[in-house]
Chains A and B, each alone.
Chain A
Amino acid sequence: MARYDDVHDESVRTLLEQATNEMRGGDPAAAVHTCCDAFGVLMKQYPDLFEENLPADEKVHHQQFPRFGARLVSVDGQPGFEFDRERFSIGEAFTYLDFTTDTALKHQA
């Protein structure tokens, strides 16, 4: 069973399923964008996630939203995403996917 199956919220689960399918289809860049969409939904449901994951400095933060080419940013105080490039590796995309899935599972618990 895929891990996203355990996510209760249908909108987040659907996006994570879509990202997984994009990975299986060999499109990690699309999966990264979809993971950002899913994390955006999560931030609406759990507003604290925005502040928790917005880097306050340049320190290495292993528990925050990844910064491997797609970055969580503040746009006039609201969450947004910036993409440094349009190509992503498999490993980068899985990092975004697993982080988002973990965040969803952790917060619903």
Chain B
Amino acid sequence: MKFGLFYELQLPRPLDQETWDPNAEKQLIEEMFEQVQLADRLGYDYVFFVEHHFLEEYAHSTAPEIMLAGLARTTKNIRLGHGVVQMPPQVNHPARVAERVSSLDLISGGRVEFGTGEGASDAELGGYNIDRTLKKSMWEEGTRECLRMMSETPYPGFDGEHFSMPERNVIPKPMQSPHPPVWVAASRRETTLLAARFGIGSMGFGFETPEETAVRVGEYYRLIREECFPIGKAINPGLFVLNQFMAAETDEEAVRRSADGPGFFSYSLGYYSTTRGTSRTASGERMIDEHHAGVTNIHRAFDELPQEQKDGRLQLSDAKLMTAEEISAGEPENEMAKALYRAARSGSAIGTTDTIRENIKRYEDAHTDIMVFNAQCGARKHEHIMEAIERFGKDVLPEFAERHETVHRPWRAQQLDGVPYEINSSI
């Protein structure tokens, strides 16, 4: 199993004032650079940046290509991942995506991972006047044509459902041939299966358990072997899982340093996943107030929640990490609520390095290709994130890296034996 870092660039508003300090966003970015550069030196394999729009506090990573370009010139080995580029053409015209991804691939020496997606909440899709029911179709068309633009000279042009353009040679071409490894954000389980059919990697953002991951891995690789018809010119078989992460000298200290990170992550994600004003309690009481752009202090709303409503707060304040069985026993049915619940409660990569090693080994046993850590979230402190990256990088990562070569790679080769398509994968 390989490892990466994941960035939303979360920036909770201060609790005691209405907006951020003028330098807050700059400081957040500077700290991110230090964290990723440290991870690069320690041998972490990937960093992924989201692309979200207008989701104040939850995700200030609105221009990931800029962050990745900066990292391309200040890191050496870590692979630079879009997690993801939003493919509806109103947000990113496919030709502009091809130009940017190829340019990034060139300046990074071929280190790009091309994650693709649809966009999520009405807060961001509505900002670009995108009909949510069309987003999957837009993703599919935009991704397929973008990959053709990267790999065909000239691109013959296209007259599609969602965009059209005449024949042009889209330049530059990427360093990785025929194009960088392609991924798709898979919030729905069905999208993981679709990823296999299209021959692209599945980015699992649902905080899946090891047992669920094992089932998905089996289905995914069967489809790659038996029912794959690639959307691009090369396939990228692979699954990653996202996990909350904080390492410290003791479990209790890791939980303390984790602070409200996972809780705020879950709350703010849920906040934007809910059309404003529609989420109500059984008695009809509005759970989330209407959002006022540039004004609403989501962090304060989270902080003022009754203790029992703060996802994970009770467990965190008790410094008690829940076992997988405890998590499973109490989780809600609805998939979104389940993801939020797990994000807040799962301690599988929060603790000492011994705790983390033992817990994530279950994902390795399930043949997970990549685990990506959500380290920067909520109001966590930069120095704590740095220490966590260093502890894991020195104490745990090397043994997993060794087993990746000696155990996982042969297993993957067996799974992919006989697959007739060109493979471009960094796994």
Contacts and interface: CB of A to CB of B under 8 A. Distances in A.
Interface of A: 57-63, 66-69, 84, 87-92, 94-95, 98-99, 102
B189 A90 contact: no
Contacts, number: 77
Contacts of A102: 189-190
A63 B140 contact: no
A51 B299 CA distance: 34
B87 to A, nearest CB: 11
Given A67-B133, A91-B137, A102-B189, 4 more contacts: A58-B278, A62-B339, A66-B188, A91-B136
Nearest to B197: A94
A58 B122 contact: yes
Interface in B196-211: 197-198, 206
A33 B193 CA distance: 20
Contacts of B122: 58
Contact of B335 (A58, A62, A95): A62
10 contacts: A58-B275, A58-B278, A60-B120, A60-B336, A61-B336, A91-B137, A95-B191, A98-B190, A98-B193, A102-B189
A7 B379 CA distance: 48
A57 B122 CA distance: 13
A61 B140 contact: no
Contact of B273 (A59, A69, A94): A59
B193 A91 contact: no
Nearest to A1: B226
B140 A59 contact: no
A12 to B, nearest CB: 17
Nearest to B162: A89
A11 to B, nearest CB: 22
B336 A57 contact: no
B336 A94 contact: no
A62 B187 contact: yes
Contacts of A87: 161
A62 B279 contact: no
A59 B190 contact: no
Nearest to B198: A91
Chain B's interface: helix, strand, loop or mixed, by majority?
helix
- Counting chain B CB atoms within 10 Å of each CB, which of A59, A62, A63 scores highest? A62
Given A58-B275, A69-B133, A92-B136, A63 B335 contact: yes
Contacts of B194: 91, 94-95, 98
B333 A63 contact: yes
Given A59-B275, A89-B141, A102-B190, A95 B133 contact: no
A94 B193 contact: yes
B139 interface: yes
A86 to B, nearest CB: 12
Interface in B296-348: 333-336, 338-339
A90 B121 CA distance: 23
B274 interface: yes
Contact of B137 (A58, A60, A67, A92): A92
Given A60-B120, A63-B335, A89 B275 contact: no
A62 B275 contact: no
Nearest to A20: B227
B133 A57 contact: no
A99 B190 contact: yes
B189 to A, nearest CB: 7
Interface string B175-201: 000000000000111110110011000
A5 B333 CA distance: 27
Contacts of A67: 132-133
A91 B139 contact: yes
Contacts of A61: 334-336
A84 B197 CA distance: 26
Contacts of B279: 57, 59
Interface in B119-174: 120-122, 132-134, 136-137, 139-141, 161
Of all A-B residue pairs in the complex, the 9 with the closest CB atoms, nearest first, are: A63-B335, A58-B275, A98-B190, A89-B137, A62-B335, A91-B140, A57-B278, A95-B190, A60-B273
A50 B161 CA distance: 32
Given A57-B279, A60-B273, A94 B190 contact: yes
A92 B198 CA distance: 13
B190 A57 contact: no
Contacts of A60: 120-121, 273-274, 336
Contacts of A98: 189-190, 193-194
Nearest to B275: A58
B231 to A, nearest CB: 9
B193 A88 contact: no
